[in-house]
A and B are shown apart, each in its own frame.
Chain A
């Protein structure tokens, strides 16, 4: 599902952490992000959605987002957007005194 180029990592999280089968995982993520399930694989649609929600995007010398959330920052937003706990986000919060 093209990972960060679309919504592959988000759907993967629902499988890894919630044991959701693919149609359910896609439906859940689509509903949370306000898109259709087929749009989850569309890099054009998802580039904008990821940007709007701060979910992290692929960075190259032509596509730079220095003021946007990325990596661990983006995962905070992913956790909120999908309403799932993300282990490294919780660890970061504890260790940075944010919890």
Chain B
């Protein structure tokens, strides 16, 4: 075994650690995740397997033949190559994508609503030439409904002023508007022939953002029983920007992935994607061990497919623009081998 192993840090930089240091990083990572989320650490076998993955100097790491999982995307295509339909077909034909996601560069439901007929036309046109499932994706992005971008007062400004009740009312108002927009877009996409809809970075603006997503999912499921609905989270726990919002009797502030998944499933989601944050000053091994520890209860208890978010700054993948293959492949393989996720 090599004595000095090349290994990434959470900011993407490449370092070298001894095998002993790598093992220590993995053990520290799982303990950090267990303490933070109040869950059990990974088992000895799981830690040993992670060590095998990270103690290798190989450029690329992969799952065993037959263990491949499904990939979904939060927006596929670079949007810089020709028309969007071409971009999506590149993913299908050349990258072997299992699914593709039509999306707009202004990746928020509030923005998409204003150009919806064009987006729906693109969906219809794409469905005529694509074979793999085509989703439509955007973000709930509750903040866009507050001043100066939207009609409600800005709770981020009100909270530091101690105007808590006004801040809560503003968020509740924004939730109603966001739900309307998300359902409206989903209706149009279903009419245009979409296979499903993706709510990406749910919870980004806190518990109000997550509530808007859950309420939208519930309404869409009732209106379109056959529609695929994917919910991908923004972060590892739901921030209590409001603090008292509930769904199905459960307070949303402070929820970790297992509880997030349960509510998404109850609302009617088809696929749930936990997102575990990366610490850029820690190693990839530490971050992956921590991410798997936090996400493990979610995957074990899920009654719907779990597609772990494994990308820039989440799921153990470093936070930098052009992600190194060695880092992405190790994080991906770890999620499949250890968590037995249904997809990424």
Residues of A at the B interface (CB closer than 8 Å) are 1-6, 8-9, 11-13, 15-17, 19-22, 25, 37-38, 41, 55-56, 58-60, 70-72, 74-75, 78, 85-88, 91-92
Contacts and interface: CB of A to CB of B under 8 A. Distances in A.
A88 B127 contact: yes
A38 B65 contact: yes
Interface in B235-264: none
A8 B70 CA distance: 6
Interface string B118-135: 000000100111111111
Contacts of A1: 68-71, 98
B302 interface: yes
B304 interface: yes
19 contacts: A2-B98, A3-B97, A8-B96, A9-B99, A11-B98, A12-B70, A12-B72, A15-B342, A19-B270, A22-B70, A38-B65, A55-B131, A71-B128, A71-B130, A71-B131, A74-B131, A75-B131, A86-B195, A88-B195
Contact of B65 (A5, A8, A41, A60): A41
B240 to A, nearest CB: 29
B196 A16 contact: yes
Interface in B190-215: 190-196
Contacts of B95: 3
B195 A87 contact: yes
Interface in B41-81: 65-66, 68-72
A2 B68 contact: yes
B185 interface: no
Interface of B: 65-66, 68-72, 92-93, 95-99, 124, 127-135, 190-196, 226-228, 230, 270-271, 302-305, 340-343
A4 B96 contact: yes
A55 B65 CA distance: 23
A53 B190 CA distance: 27
Contact of A12 (B98, B128, B193, B304): B98
Secondary structure at chain A's binding surface: helix, strand, loop or mixed? Answer: helix
Contacts of A92: 128, 193
B342 A21 contact: yes
Contact of B71 (A8, A19, A59, A71): A8
Nearest to B271: A15
Contacts of B133: 9, 12-13, 16
Given A16-B196, A55-B131, 11 more contacts: A3-B95, A3-B132, A8-B68, A9-B133, A15-B305, A16-B99, A41-B65, A78-B131, A88-B193, A88-B195, A91-B124
Contact of B226 (A4, A17, A55, A70): A17
Given A22-B70, A91-B193, A4 B131 contact: yes
B298 to A, nearest CB: 13
A91 B132 CA distance: 16
A86 B127 CA distance: 11
Contact of B305 (A19, A37, A60): A19
Contacts of B99: 3, 9, 12, 16
Contact of B93 (A16, A25, A59, A88): A59
A71 B194 CA distance: 14
